[in-house]
Structure 1
Amino acid sequence: MRRRQMLMLMTATGVSACADRFHAPLMPQAADVGVVRQIFVATNRAPDPEGWFTAQRSEQLTYMTLGVAIPPSHKKGRIKNGFAHPDPQTDFTIATRRDLDGRQGFRTALAHTIRNAPPNRREIAVYIHGYNNSFFDGVFRTTQIIHDFDVPATAVHFSWPSATHPLGYTYDRDSVLFSRDALEQLLNDLRAANPKRIVLVAHSLGTMLLMETLRQIEIADPGWSKRSLGGVVLISPDLDIEVFRMQAKRFRNLPQPFAIFVSKRDKALALSARINGAGARLGNLRDPEALGDFPVTILDVSEFSSSNSHFTLGTSPVLISLLANSAPMDVAFQSDRSGRSGLLPGTVLTVRNATQLILSPDLLLSKL
């Protein structure tokens, strides 16, 4: 039964088990074809003989910058990957790679990038991938998010050692625990670069890694998250609601804004709940009362979700276009919660400290 459930989870997340997702060639000529986005990468995956990265764990972080070419045919919300044989006209492609000399090399390069960026782009946006992701899956998703949402920040991707297999859920859960110290080290390195703001974005099982790491930091240095971070975004969090509550209670103050994107139609999270023997996951939260003790903004995107979507925020072209080109997110993230309801593109529910926004395509369009 468990094997059948895991295969169903693979289908729900829309990930192929057949393609070789661990390999992609370096193609400098792709820079002449597509738009190139530069991202910083830190990974605690073990390297393969070709210099890329496997599902195996490493106790050392490896740092680099990658130039990812986005093909001319790219459509918002989609990532086309040719794996070992990409076509720069249609596929996301690695165009450049620069290896950095350890932790100090990473800090120096990142600080230089921040210092030389325009004043309105001196922020850092970090993306942490979820379950069943290869090194390249996470790199391409980071690039797609930064590009499609036109994020005015330096992009950083943390790649942790996922098994990259639908039957590797237990391995991935263990890798999350294994990776906490590595992510903590990266977060301290980001702060040392002196950006205007650091925003952390995590998806699926990556939200467990992020929350565990921040909890660990808060225990050692209470108030660190509030002092150091300019926002946290959890997308489709594959995280038990009771566990999240206990994690959040360790924070002196949750960093603001703190946004959680949920969907009641997320089939992958429904299956995860069955596998884990729980009634629900944070990412398919139905009642905001469970989070009423915390100053969080819950954004319900169920109306934009297909039944097999586990990443509605990043894969719905309509939602991407509307949120990237309008003010809803800015309004949702205002620290002053009073008087919002007339400005927000959806139904607003307030439960003590928590605010839930139930977004609707029709209501979003009416605000444009």
Structure 2
Amino acid sequence: MYRASRPIVVLVLVLVLAGCAGRAMVALVPGALGIGQSETVLVASTRVFEDGDWGTERLEGLSFVSFDVNIPPDREPGQVEPVRDRRTPDPATNFLVTRAEALDGASTFRAALQRELATRPSDQREVMVFVHGFNNTFADGLYRTAQIRHDFQIPGVAVHYAWPSAGNALGYAYDRDSALFARDGLETLLREITASGSNRIVLVAHSLGSSVTMEALRQLRIAGRDDVLNRISGVILMSPDLDVDLFRSQAMRIDPLPQPFVIFTSQRDRALRISAAITGQRSRLGNIGTVDDVADLNVTLIDISEFRGGARDGLNHFAAATSPAMIQLLQQVAAVDISLQRDATQNLGILPGTVLTVRNATQIFLQPLTQP
């Protein structure tokens, strides 16, 4: 047997076992309203809706839905415990939907977004768009959007872009193709948000969702849509599953990149090790150890290798959003209001850790407030 194949087989088995638990599902429980805290999430999706749920098949065009998501009171920061059996939802511990409303087309979506923005103070009329990553169901992305908005206390309106992941640990090839399929939908969504009158847009992408995000930004630049790009007041890539050379090519075509442009990386990210092994590389953008490969780009790398993901993040692939220590740190350090401050790249330097500047890029090796 080819010796080098054994570590890859072991890693794939780990990934499969990590995905064997019952998958998250959207559970509508109107009676749960008031038990926890409610977050409104608007969703634009390129998933086909059939048999009462959003599946894995690809939808040409966009569908829009508005949800109220119940954030249960009995949980740790970063933890998302979804319903895995609709017969036994527990509002005290499970993320649930208390309201779901289909929005009939883009104009209805814009109207719903405008209503949500109007409830905010004039200086908080921004939109956070979350783009999920590999191996996500529709519910995974919906609940994670609500969790990020809630735990990081991000002002403004939460919007989730749900692209057609297979929601299967063995569906990596399907998801990589879907990420390319989904770029047009995200571009359209960003145009609709701009048309709604939002002051600013913050893009938060995880894993393979970073590929969707970079491609959409690239397309907007090629199309000359500076009106949209100028509304983007920050891009945050969490554990981006991206080829470094591809990222560089995308970034140079988008140039100038929206600012701040922040990339969370980790040497403990086992999922990205698997992705790198599959593609025959040493690393992906989300686990590069040095800033040198992107030093000519105006980006900030935040190395969170000292942080461990939450209880259900066995591969340490989402520590930026699931680590209670990370959430505690970002809540306490007001300078990391990345989503709202154009000078956040400079302000990030006051975080606990080591700061390294190489040419145009900055790398921060972040340290927990208390060592794990």
TM norm. shorter chain > 0.5: yes
- Write out the 4+ residue segments of structure 1 that deviate beyond 4 Å after TM superposition: 1-5, 222-226, 330-334, 336-341, 362-365
Amino acid in structure 1 at the alignment position of 2:80: I
Match of 1:359 among 361, 366, 369: 366
Query: Relative to 1, partners in 2 of residues 1:118 and 1:153: Cα closer, same or farther, differing over 3 Å?
Result: same
Contact 2:333 2:351 (8 Å CA) reproduced: no
Amino acid in structure 2 at the alignment position of 1:6: V
Are positions 1:165 and 2:168 aligned together?
Answer: yes
Amino acid in structure 2 at the alignment position of 1:34: G
Look up the SS of the partner of 2:168 in the other structure.
coil
Deviation at 1:254, TM superposition (A): 0.5
Amino acid in structure 2 at the alignment position of 1:74: R
Amino acid in structure 1 at the alignment position of 2:61: Q
Aligned to 1:152: 155
Look up the SS of the partner of 2:48 in the other structure.
strand
Q: CA RMSD in A?
A: 2.3
TM-score normalised over the length of structure 1: 0.92
Aligned to 2:328: 321
Gaps of 5+ in 1: none
Q: Quick one: distance in 2 between partners of 1:265 and 1:340? A: 22
Aligned to 1:335: 343
Deviation at 1:19, TM superposition (A): 1.2
Q: Quick one: distance in 2 between partners of 1:250 and 1:203? A: 21
Match of 2:301 among 291, 295, 298: 298
Q: Provide the identity percentage.
A: 43
TM-score normalised over the length of structure 2: 0.91
Gaps of 5+ in 2: none
Match of 2:15 among 1, 6, 9: 9
Number of residue pairs matched by the alignment: 359
Query: Relative to 1, partners in 2 of residues 1:32 and 1:8: Cα closer, same or farther, differing over 3 Å?
Result: same
Are positions 1:308 and 2:315 aligned together?
Answer: yes
Deviation at 1:308, TM superposition (A): 2.4
Query: Relative to 1, partners in 2 of residues 1:201 and 1:67: Cα closer, same or farther, differing over 3 Å?
Result: same
- Deviations for 1:23-68, whole angstroms, at most 9, x for unmatched residues? 4331100113111111100101001221x20011110311011000
Query: Relative to 1, partners in 2 of residues 1:315 and 1:331: Cα closer, same or farther, differing over 3 Å?
Result: closer
Deviation at 1:84, TM superposition (A): 2.8
Query: Relative to 1, partners in 2 of residues 1:331 and 1:214: Cα closer, same or farther, differing over 3 Å?
Result: closer
Amino acid in structure 1 at the alignment position of 2:36: G
Contact 1:5 1:275 (8 Å CA) reproduced: no
Bigger Cα displacement from structure 2, 330-339 vs 106-115: 330-339
Match of 1:252 among 233, 255, 277: 255
Deviation at 1:9, TM superposition (A): 2.7
Aligned to 1:232: 235
- Deviations for 1:135-173, whole angstroms, at most 9, x for unmatched residues? 000001001111111111100000000000011000000
Query: Relative to 1, partners in 2 of residues 1:261 and 1:320: Cα closer, same or farther, differing over 3 Å?
Result: same
Aligned to 2:30: 28
Contact 1:226 1:256 (8 Å CA) reproduced: no
